[in-house]
Structure 1
Amino acid sequence: MSSFRTAKGGRIKRKDAISFSFEGKAYTGVKGDTLASALLANGVHFVGRSYKYHRPRGIMSAGQEESSALVGIDRGQGRYDTNTRATTQELFEGLKAQSQHCWPSLRWDIGEMNSLASPILSAGFYYKTFMWPKSFWKRVYEPIIRKSAGLGRAPRAVDPDVYASRYAHCDVLIVGGGPAGLAAALAASRSGAKVILADEQSEIGGALLSDPGSRIDDEESWSWLASAVVALAADENVTILNRTTAFGYYHQNFVGLVERLSDHLESPSSNLPRERLWRVRAKRIVLATGAIERPLVFAGNDRPGVMLAGAARTYLNRYGVRVGDKPVVVTSHDSAYLTAFDMAENGVGVEAIIDLCTDVSPELLKGAARLGIEVLPGHTITRTKGRLRISSIYAAPIEPDGSVGPERTIDCDALLMCGGWTPSVHLFSQSRGTLSWREDIGAYVPDVYAQNASSAGACDGHYLLSEALNGGAAAGQAAAIEAGYKAGKPNTYEVAEEATCSGTLIVELPTGANPARIKAFVDFQHDVTAKDIRLAVREGFHSIEHIKRYTTAGMATDQGKTSNLSELAIASKTLSRPIAEVGLTTFRPPYTPTSFGAFAGRSRGNLFDVTRKSPIDSWAEKRGAVFEPVSLWRRARYFPRDNEDMHAAVARECKATRSSIGISDASTLGKIEVVGPDSAEFLNRIYTNAWTKLGVGRCRYGLMLGEDGFIFDDGVVGRLALDRFHVTTTTGGAPRVMAHMEDYLQTEWPDLDLWLTSITEQWAVIALNGPNVRKLIEPFVEGIDLDKQAFPHMAIKEGKIYGVPTRLFRVSFTGELGFEINVPSRYGLTVWKRLIEEGARYDIVPYGTEALHVLRAEKGYIIVGQDTDGTQTPDDVGMAWAIGRNKHDFIGKRSLTRPDMLVSNRKQLVGLLTRDPKNLLEEGAQIVATAHPSPPAKMIGHVTSSYWSETLQHSIAMGVVEGGRARMGAELYVPMPDGVHQVQVVEPVFYDQEGGRLNV
């Protein structure tokens, strides 16, 4: 057995040995250990490095508030967990852990040299350094910063685990399985209410797991705990969830829970989810989340071996581990005496209790004297010694004037500190409740509730065991009554010989040294010191939210659980304002880090982002097409031949389409059938232009706006009959357009008589473009006269092609003679193959989305979402002609009359031609009015589309520019990484401006 394991006691199974490794070295623990308790049992305190200065760090706590003992866990088979708290990771056979943020090793870390640069690495140093020389930023400073940023390493393999989720409703949700939570659950369950009890630890019990000596109703606390858990487990209305963290409290009593199902197992079944996400809606919630012990702020308070006193008590009583053989306790709160007494009773020689307060309870002094522990009231710690483990401390009396008297050295191998307790009000604050400051306990507690909830126990500022039990019982009973159940009088619990639990809020210890020359840490992970807090205040940051961000205090993985109150207190003292006036930081979900896998659940891969494929996709894949995702669809981007690159392939495809025939798969376009007597009136309200007079067999380009007057989607609509329309949308816009239409039909215009049907997958669409298209299909089309006069541009007819029913559109997105052949999906591939076969004599060429983009840009056709960004009106993109001015109303009409919509300097769509024809602009590049503007440069627009035009032998681009139409012919400038490019503003139609090629 390890040298720091006690001879008896604890809740571990001493006979069940478990082998594990840390930093490649083998160790032995026992069942019931956490990684932290097993390391401490083996005498290992030094487990990590801090973020900024790479200072040695040890295990500081025993729970989720841990900020220093973060390790990587290699679970094999691609499973690697970074930033795992050693204090919460249950030990299992073969566990492999390694330290983080150090190189080349934990003991010898070159990053420790950062401490030498600490004078220039103070709060906000990144705002004040790296200014010179300017050219170094990209080449030197930024690469160094990026390489050093981050903590731990992300796993490189795909997550092999599975995750589950479920919804649950209950009458009473109790968060926290300590004494208050258990008492609440017992009281609520007796009424018959449906109860869920959730606790983040491996077993229910909370603070009782570390307190075997208390007696509840004349019964040992652990015996009472076991009985309570058995009673709750036997109640069919109670669900007990251990290893479950409530990470977020949202609107209407909606709480997110994450249940860890297999992290404690050596070889979990492949069918067992790793985690389960619970989405719980409760009528009433009882928060029994406990409190977090506060560290003290003094010089050298971060050395390995310095830890929270309550954590040391947990390791002793729950895990049977002595954290040291000659510890010193420093405290401003009575609870630390319990740790010292328990350690002494287990044979540990406590060197001294250094009490910052002078008025120590006589009962505590008697208890210390009985155990032979020296108590130093009214003393402070001025500094500590030790490199990889604390070896001694310097204690000194605090004089009446606040100065420090002569120092005294005390050798020790552990320093156990307690600065009081901070109620865990994170979930309460997430619920939008209001906190109030209690001066008597030096902490914020719940005050005004925003939702149907209550708090009990330590999270409500009641630290005594009797207060927790009786407060929890009352809260559970009240919750059940408010949920609609009848409940009798709650149990009244008696606790024998209860110790006092009072203290004084002292955060920063008095020291004789110059405070500017010592490192007294507030945030142990981010290396934020008391000096940094004071510096932030001196530099003008008086809001606690600004101080937090300037110093990064409370922004580490623990989210300030141990540092927030210290930060507040130091800022309060520096500002000479009461803590209650300094303000509070905002608590946001998640309460502790929560895996992406839990949120994703089974919605991963194709179950999350389904890859939709058209009926013609397989043909494109066999022909070596390069694909790109377009919304959920996979579309062929280009079809390379003979090792062509994309530029060459797209140039060939464009040239073929302009000179003969190009064929493209357009099946992914959204398609909606609108049928009913009021279908024309419905479209008249949805679209900007008029539809009631559109003739049967004709098509019209439709522009759809949101209520804000900005472009929402576009497409071509064909009228098949007086009461039937075939509507097309953009590929990515189909789902939202369908939802948009349904929303208005069902909620705004339920009196209209029509039906909406999504037919996107019912029809395969083959787009044929080019001067020879009519020649190709005319012999194989039945029932449709393809003559120019009989079938003009923007018409739709129904007939057959190759004997297959078709809806044939005469439309074009390329500017060439074009037909879109709609056939039932099951015939799509067959018709495509026939067209490829028959088109061989015309040198038909399949083209992808990239060529399509080039061809449409040459004609000045917009793509919604590329040439628009949600802030463009029809007039902005040159489509004022698409607005039905005489229409009574349509969605967005009123917004178009707002003053901001009518100003002349709105960003308008224009064409852009570079001075050098071969210069290709970057999409998204900003546009400025002068070549070398003085900073801050005014951005007057940006490039939305940019391509090389094989047809024009010139690069072309479109962009939105302030007052663009008034700038025709003007010279503007586009700064890019390779230099500033001069461009001329032109009309956005670069090719066949008269439209003659469409109407052949």
Structure 2
Amino acid sequence: MTAYRVATGGLVDRSKTIRFTFDGKTVEAVEGDTIASALLASGVSIVARSFKYHRPRGVWGAGVEEPNAIVDVSGPVSLTNARATTVLARNGMIVCSVNAAPTAVSDRNAFIDRFARFIPAAFYYKTFMFPTWSLFEPSIRKMAGLGTIVPEGAAVPAADQVNVGCDVLVVGAGPAGLLAALRAAETGCKVILCDDGFAVGGSLLHRSCSIDGMDGRSWADETVARLHALGASVLTRTTAFGIYDHGLVALSQLDAVNGRDRLWRVRPGKVILATGAIERSLPFANNDRPGVMLAEAGLAYLKRYGVAPGRKVVVATNNSVGKATADELSALGISVTLVDSRNGSEIATVNGAKHVESVTLSDGSTITCDAVLVSGGFTPTLHLYCQAKGKLTWDETLQTFVAGAPVPGISVAGAAAACFDIALVVDSVRLALSQCEIDAGNTPASALSLPAFDISPAWPKAGQSGRVWIDLQNDVTAKDIELAARENFVSVEHLKRYTTLGMATDQGKTSNLAGIALMASLTDRSIPEVGTTTYRPPFTPVPFTSLSGARQETMLNPPRRLALEEVHRAMGARLMEYGGWIRPSHYGEGPMEEAAQREALAARESVAIFDGSPLGKIEVVGPQAAELLDFVFYNSMSSLKPGRCRYGLILSESGLVYDDGVVIRVDENRFIVSCSSSHVAGVHTMLESWRQDRFSTDKVFIHNATTAYATVTLSGPKSKAVLEAAGLVIDDATLAHMTTSEVSLGDLAVRVTRVSFTGDRSYEVSVRADQAERLWQLLSESGKPFGIAPIGMEALLILRAEKGYIVIGKDTDGTTLPMDLGMNGPLKSKRVEFSGNRSLLTAEATRPDRPNFIGLEVMDDGGPFAPGAHGIEMTEGRLRSLGYITSSYHSPTLNKPIALALIERGYSRIGDIIEVQHLGARRRARICAPCVFDPEGDRLNG
């Protein structure tokens, strides 16, 4: 292939030179070039190696349809697996071909193509099953894949995300899209027009056309100016890649200058698809040789970039547009030979080892050439229409699938509506606007250099000699499809998966119709009887940075911080993340395990002070508040008296334990849900969802006040004395266990709740977050005579495990039901409907061998069990798991190891000895009750 830069023409700025490297060699480009056009202008013919056989491949298209020229880009912007046809050339770029080692020209794996006859479609499935797939998998996976992912730690700019609504979204800024957008904007509609090209105009950028007395490019520029004046948004380099639920259209706007992309979530009233059509190839041997290119692409490179596809060009076609392309190329001084199958002339094969040197026709004659431009008809780009549940129909005259019945809110215009001349384009726009209930108004006078569209069938034939390529991206040949038919993979979806036809980023853009047509011929069916595969979003690859947006690192998972964080730091706290909160794990120097033991023992012997601020404080208010909580909680909450508290479980709709916590009834119509720290957002969402689904939204209100208040907890046998020393006189009769009271502590208004997560007498004192430091200092000073000690999360986890209290997500898993935790009462006694109740009556929920929450007593001197170790037993000669250990610690109070576990039939096995296995080592344990500290509960009131 001898593509070259012509002396004049194109939309590029020849005064500005750009230099980048491709596979280590310097390439010179001009401002406005894409990587592909620059490579062509520099005479680079081999730009890639095919995925499966490592055949040499050249540039084939000029836009998103490109299956071959996939490259990795680093330098000013880092891109992985980018189409060279859609990335602008920039100074300093380092461009590398993918699937080639070391370069596309000199690929050491090129030898694989010599063995192609032995590795047809489904070769991997059939060959590597014996003796085991895992034996071959590492090598196959190493060879699979294309580009190289940006190394971890490389700077990837965060993408913007925009949510916007509009009256009309027009996808595609060719003549149809521009006409539709302009008329909609003139009628007062809020319009967004998007196009994946670098500039608006579509085919007007390379087709000779006049509209309203202006050439196509000038008319497009004037139309954009009018759109801007009318307040419309015109987005270039923006692909509408998917239509989703409730009319959401997702747009990906790529910025190759600074690498900062943008994701648009658009909710339009109406959508007009003016997405154009993709040209198809023709079936002849070696139709993948570098130098074979789509005819539209060849014309686009010449008109847009000033790059001629070759010096001696053969244009092979079966339609009138292909002939018009040949005429335009010839008029621009390119030596063109037309091979038109409508005149009985066809290419049989392309000759040349690594690039086009000549073609042999079906009559045996040979034409010397350095480029072959093919035009096998057009396939309307209807991916978005199909994603919106639109159904395609076959048009025999046009030899393509077209949009069928209208989809509410979506209309199709231009080449997407199979209108391939400007007169029909104008009519299709008029129809699309009327479907959107927009007055079409006056339409412009126009003329296009295309005659009325005419096409004759030109599909692959069974038994065709040579290697006829159907899918260039996935290396699928006509013979692969014939093999699929012989092996009865004749369903279009089976054909896709058996051969990989239309998979990967191509998604059938360039290959599906030819493959379907061949399968139809092989199975004596019509093309519409074979059908089409599903066009899955995204239409083109979308960078992960666009989908994640700014949600990276702390923006992805924002750390929640305590109002008392600086106080804890000053006290020597070591901070860690627990449930999304940055909290003290322990205080002081030394190993965390030793500190936790020391702090837990101090809490048992005297009094501990603990920052419990992350505990949920979700207020549920209104006359239906009790009814809502009865529905959401497994336990009944409506029977609570004001000033009382109750522990309960929250279940998912499937009956699984979602969270636990304490509900405080402040007065008749006001409750506070104190859920676990890590589930506050989830519980808030669940309460709000059920509120909107089942209750009167003017009779119950939910407010998450967790961060508005701080909670300081006192726990231990001397906790009451500390509070009294701080100035609060406590009467156990009025502030008994599981009660709450709003009182004054000095000049602070506080809520004191007597509830315990340690098994000792405890008081949770809540105050406004801005008063947290004053409360902490008051209680700390008051507690000094009693040996008060701050404790962190690690000590608290030990204390609660001694008491057998669960931590959701640690002592439960995604299958735990309330009965597994020993809570059967509400299921039997609760008379009102609650979330998940029906799921608790299924055979799965009531089977007798479910895992139960129990304790384990260590039977040796080996120290605590490893969390996650399994209880095991032999059954019918085979070792099986009985369950696993959820929590395991050394208890400083009891001076021995303790453990909690979920063990099959655990409650009926109390007292039994089982084996526990971890990493091959086995130990013995006795099953016991979860609570090993103060089982009678005397210390709660001590």
Q: TM-score, normalised by structure 1?
A: 0.83
Deviates more, 1:711-720 or 1:796-805: 796-805
SS in 2 for 1:670: coil
1:599-636 CA-to-partner distances (Å, cap 9, x unmatched) read: 44455555553322012223445567555544543334
Aligned ranges 1:206-245 → 2 under 5 Å: 206-212=202-208, 214-215=209-210, 220-234=215-229, 236=230, 238-245=232-239
Question: Structure 1 residues 726, 526: closer, same or farther in 2, change over 3 A?
Answer: same
2:725 corresponds, among 779, 796, 805, to: 779
1:523 corresponds, among 471, 495, 510, to: 471
Matched, 1:153 2:149: yes
Question: Structure 1 residues 209, 912: closer, same or farther in 2, change over 3 A?
Answer: farther
Matched, 1:856 2:800: yes
Shift of 1:668: 0.7
Aligned ranges 1:847-926 → 2 under 5 Å: 847-869=791-813, 872-883=816-827, 885=829, 887-893=831-837, 896-897=840-841, 901-906=845-850, 908-910=852-854, 920=865, 923=868
2:412 corresponds, among 452, 455, 459, to: 455
Question: Structure 1 residues 587, 911: closer, same or farther in 2, change over 3 A?
Answer: farther
Give the equivalent residue in structure 2 for 1:402: none
Give the equivalent residue in structure 2 for 1:385: 352
What is the alpha-carbon distance in structure 2 between the residues aligned to residue 623 and residue 102 of structure 1?
59
Paired residues of 2:212 and 2:445 also in contact (CA < 8 A)? no
Give the equivalent residue in structure 2 for 1:989: 930
Give the equivalent residue in structure 2 for 1:73: 73
What is the alpha-carbon distance in structure 2 between the residues aligned to residue 392 and residue 933 of structure 1?
72
Give the equivalent residue in structure 2 for 1:366: none
2:561 corresponds, among 596, 607, 613, to: 613
**Taking every aligned residue pair, what percent have the same amino acid on both sides?**
37
Aligned ranges 1:720-869 → 2 under 5 Å: 720-721=666-667, 724-745=670-691, 748-750=694-696, 756-771=702-717, 773-774=719-720, 778-785=724-731, 792-799=736-743, 804-832=748-776, 846-869=790-813
1:172-207 CA-to-partner distances (Å, cap 9, x unmatched) read: 322111122233334444544443322221222111
Q: Quick one: which amino acid aligns to residue 316 of structure 1?
A: L
Question: Structure 1 residues 284, 672: closer, same or farther in 2, change over 3 A?
Answer: closer
Question: Structure 1 residues 451, 872: closer, same or farther in 2, change over 3 A?
Answer: farther
2:456 corresponds, among 497, 503, 526, to: 503
SS in 1 for 2:82: strand
Question: Structure 1 residues 540, 676: closer, same or farther in 2, change over 3 A?
Answer: same
Deviates more, 1:176-185 or 1:754-763: 754-763
What is the alpha-carbon distance in structure 2 between the residues aligned to residue 7 and residue 724 of structure 1?
81
Give the equivalent residue in structure 2 for 1:91: 89
- Structure 1 unaligned spans of 5+: 361-376, 398-406
Shift of 1:651: 5.0
Q: Quick one: which amino acid aligns to residue 195 of structure 2?
A: D
Give the equivalent residue in structure 2 for 1:302: 288
SS in 2 for 1:64: coil
- Structure 2 unaligned spans of 5+: none
Question: Structure 1 residues 197, 845: closer, same or farther in 2, change over 3 A?
Answer: same
SS in 2 for 1:61: coil
Shift of 1:446: 0.8
What is the alpha-carbon distance in structure 2 between the residues aligned to residue 547 and residue 524 of structure 1?
16
Paired residues of 2:864 and 2:888 also in contact (CA < 8 A)? no
SS in 2 for 1:204: coil
Give the equivalent residue in structure 2 for 1:956: 899
Give the equivalent residue in structure 2 for 1:579: 527
Give the equivalent residue in structure 1 for 2:47: 47
Aligned ranges 1:90-129 → 2 under 5 Å: 90-112=88-110, 114-115=112-113, 122-129=120-127
Give the equivalent residue in structure 2 for 1:137: 134
What is the alpha-carbon distance in structure 2 between the residues aligned to residue 576 and residue 502 of structure 1?
22
What is the alpha-carbon distance in structure 2 between the residues aligned to residue 396 and residue 974 of structure 1?
77
1:16-64 CA-to-partner distances (Å, cap 9, x unmatched) read: 3333333343333223322211211111122233334443332111001
Give the equivalent residue in structure 2 for 1:368: none
Question: Structure 1 residues 48, 912: closer, same or farther in 2, change over 3 A?
Answer: farther
SS in 1 for 2:5: coil
Shift of 1:874: 2.3
Shift of 1:294: 1.8
SS in 1 for 2:299: helix
Matched, 1:248 2:242: yes
Give the equivalent residue in structure 1 for 2:327: 341
Shift of 1:561: 1.6
Matched, 1:424 2:365: no
SS in 1 for 2:752: strand
Give the equivalent residue in structure 2 for 1:374: none
Give the equivalent residue in structure 2 for 1:200: 196
Aligned ranges 1:935-974 → 2 under 5 Å: 943=884, 945-950=886-891, 953-954=896-897, 956-959=899-902, 961=904, 965-966=907-908
Question: Structure 1 residues 492, 220: closer, same or farther in 2, change over 3 A?
Answer: closer
Q: Quick one: which amino acid aligns to residue 469 of structure 1?
A: V
Question: Structure 1 residues 842, 83: closer, same or farther in 2, change over 3 A?
Answer: farther
Aligned ranges 1:259-270 → 2 under 5 Å: 259-260=253-254, 262-263=255-256, 265=257
Give the equivalent residue in structure 2 for 1:469: 426
Please, what is the CA RMSD of the aligned residues? Answer: 4.0
Residues paired across the two proteins, number: 937
Matched, 1:281 2:267: yes
Give the equivalent residue in structure 2 for 1:25: 25
Shift of 1:569: 3.0
Question: Structure 1 residues 553, 887: closer, same or farther in 2, change over 3 A?
Answer: same
Shift of 1:701: 0.6
Shift of 1:104: 3.5
Shift of 1:728: 0.5
Question: Structure 1 residues 281, 693: closer, same or farther in 2, change over 3 A?
Answer: closer
Give the equivalent residue in structure 2 for 1:400: none
Q: Quick one: which amino acid aligns to residue 823 of structure 1?
A: V
What is the alpha-carbon distance in structure 2 between the residues aligned to residue 660 and residue 147 of structure 1?
65
Give the equivalent residue in structure 2 for 1:363: none
What is the alpha-carbon distance in structure 2 between the residues aligned to residue 845 and residue 132 of structure 1?
65
What is the alpha-carbon distance in structure 1 between the residues aligned to residue 400 and residue 925 of structure 2?
65
SS in 2 for 1:46: coil
What is the alpha-carbon distance in structure 2 between the residues aligned to residue 544 and residue 630 of structure 1?
50
Paired residues of 2:191 and 2:232 also in contact (CA < 8 A)? yes
Paired residues of 2:75 and 2:93 also in contact (CA < 8 A)? yes
Give the equivalent residue in structure 1 for 2:314: 328
What is the alpha-carbon distance in structure 1 between the residues aligned to residue 922 and residue 690 of structure 2?
46
Q: TM-score, normalised by structure 2?
A: 0.87
